[in-house]
Amino acid sequence: MTRVVVTGIGIVSSIGNNFTETYNSLIRRKSGIKPISILDTRHRGEFLIGEVRLTHQQLIKEADVSEDEPWTRTALLGIIAAKQAILSSGNTDVENAALVSASTVGGMDRSELCYYDMLEGKHKQYIDTHHAGNSTEMIARECGIGGLITTISTACSSSLNSIMLGARLIKSGQTKTAVVGGTDALSKFTLNGFKTLLILDKENCRPFDSSRAGLNLGEGAAYLVLEELESALKSGKEIYAEVTGYANANDAHHQTASSENGEGPYLAMKKALDLSGLTSGEIDYINAHGTGTENNDLTESIAIKRLFGDRIPLFSSTKAYTGHTLGAAGAVEAVIALLSLKNNIIPPNLNFSDPIDETGISPVHEVVQGKVLNNVLTNSFGFGGNDSSVIFSKVTGRSDKQEDVKSSQNILPVYINGTACVSPQNTSGNNHFPPEITELNEKFLQIQKPEYREYIAPKLLRRMSKIVRMGIVSSKIACADAGIEEPDAIITATGMGCQVDTEKFLTSMIENDEGLLTPTSFIQSTHNTVGGSIALGTGNHNYNLTYVHRTFSFESALLDSMILINEGLAGNVLIGGFDEITEDSWRIKTNINHYKAEAVSNTELFYDRQKGALAGEGSTFFMVSPDETDNTYAQIRGVDMFMHPGGNTTVENRIHEFLKNHELRTGDIDLVITGDNGDPDFDHIYEYLRKGVFQGNQTIKYKHLCGEYDTSSAFAMWLAATIIKENHIPKGLFTENESNIEIRNVLIYNQFRNVNHSLILLGKKCL
Residue-wise pLDDT tens digits, 607-652: 999 999 999 999 999 999 999 999 999 999 999 999 988 877 799 9
| Mean pLDDT estimate for the chain | 95
Average confidence (pLDDT) over 736-764: 89
Could you tell me the pLDDT band of residue 736, with boundaries at 50, 70 and 90? low
439-496 pLDDT, tens digit per residue, is: 999 999 999 999 999 999 998 898 899 999 999 999 999 999 999 999 999 999 999 9
Domain residue ranges in the chain:
4-393, 414-497+548-763
List helix spans (H) across 512-638.
519-524, 529-538, 553-566, 583-590
Residue 429 has pLDDT above 80, yes or no: no
| Separation between Cα atoms, residue 247 and residue 154, nearest integer Å | 14
- The β-bridge partners of 324 are 217
pLDDT for the residue numbered 576:
98
Residue 683 has pLDDT above 50, yes or no: yes
pLDDT for the residue numbered 74:
98
| Separation between Cα atoms, residue 307 and residue 281, nearest integer Å | 10
What single-letter amino acid sits at 57?
Q
| Separation between Cα atoms, residue 321 and residue 49, nearest integer Å | 10
127-178 pLDDT, tens digit per residue, is: 999 999 999 999 999 999 999 999 999 999 999 999 999 999 999 999 999 9
Residues 6+ apart with CB under 8 A from 234: none
Average confidence (pLDDT) over 47-67: 98
Average confidence (pLDDT) over 752-765: 96
Average confidence (pLDDT) over 80-103: 96
Judge if 4-393 and 414-497+548-763 fold alike in CATH terms.
Answer: yes
Percent of the chain with pLDDT over 70: 97
| Separation between Cα atoms, residue 138 and residue 142, nearest integer Å | 6
The correct CATH number of 414-497+548-763 out of 3.20.20.70, 3.20.19.10, 3.40.47.10, 3.30.70.360 is 3.40.47.10
Rounded to the nearest 10°, the torsion over CA 474, 476, 478, 482 is -170
pLDDT for the residue numbered 767:
56
Residue 382 phi/psi, 5-degree rounding, is -135, 175
pLDDT for the residue numbered 398:
44
316-367 pLDDT, tens digit per residue, is: 999 999 999 999 999 999 999 999 999 999 999 999 999 999 999 999 999 9
Distance of CA 700 to CAs 497, 633, 731, Å? 28, 19, 11
Could you tell me the pLDDT band of residue 739, with boundaries at 50, 70 and 90? low
Please answer whether residues 736 and 698 qualify as being in contact, where contact means their C-beta atoms are separated by less than 8 angstroms.
yes
Residues 6+ apart with CB under 8 A from 392: 6, 240, 241, 242, 243, 244, 334, 337, 338, 341, 375, 376, 378
**Segment among 23-27, 136-140, 429-433, 562-566 with least mean pLDDT:** 429-433
| Residue with the larger pLDDT of the pair 257 and 103 | 103
pLDDT for the residue numbered 337:
98
The catalytic residues are 156, 289, 324
Could you tell me the pLDDT band of residue 436, with boundaries at 50, 70 and 90? confident
**Segment among 395-399, 484-488, 582-586, 655-659 with least mean pLDDT:** 395-399
Q: Which residue, 431, 479, 425, 475, is CA-closest to 725?
A: 431
Homologous superfamily of the 4-393 domain (CATH): Thiolase/Chalcone synthase (3.40.47.10)
Q: Give the number of other CB atoms < 10 A from CB of residue 114.
A: 18
| Residue with the larger pLDDT of the pair 82 and 404 | 82
- Beta strands per DSSP E along 592-686: 600-601, 618-625, 634-643, 671-674
pLDDT for the residue numbered 407:
44
Could you tell me the pLDDT band of residue 740, with boundaries at 50, 70 and 90? low
Residues 6+ apart with CB under 8 A from 684: none
| Separation between Cα atoms, residue 551 and residue 753, nearest integer Å | 10
Could you tell me the pLDDT band of residue 181, with boundaries at 50, 70 and 90? very high
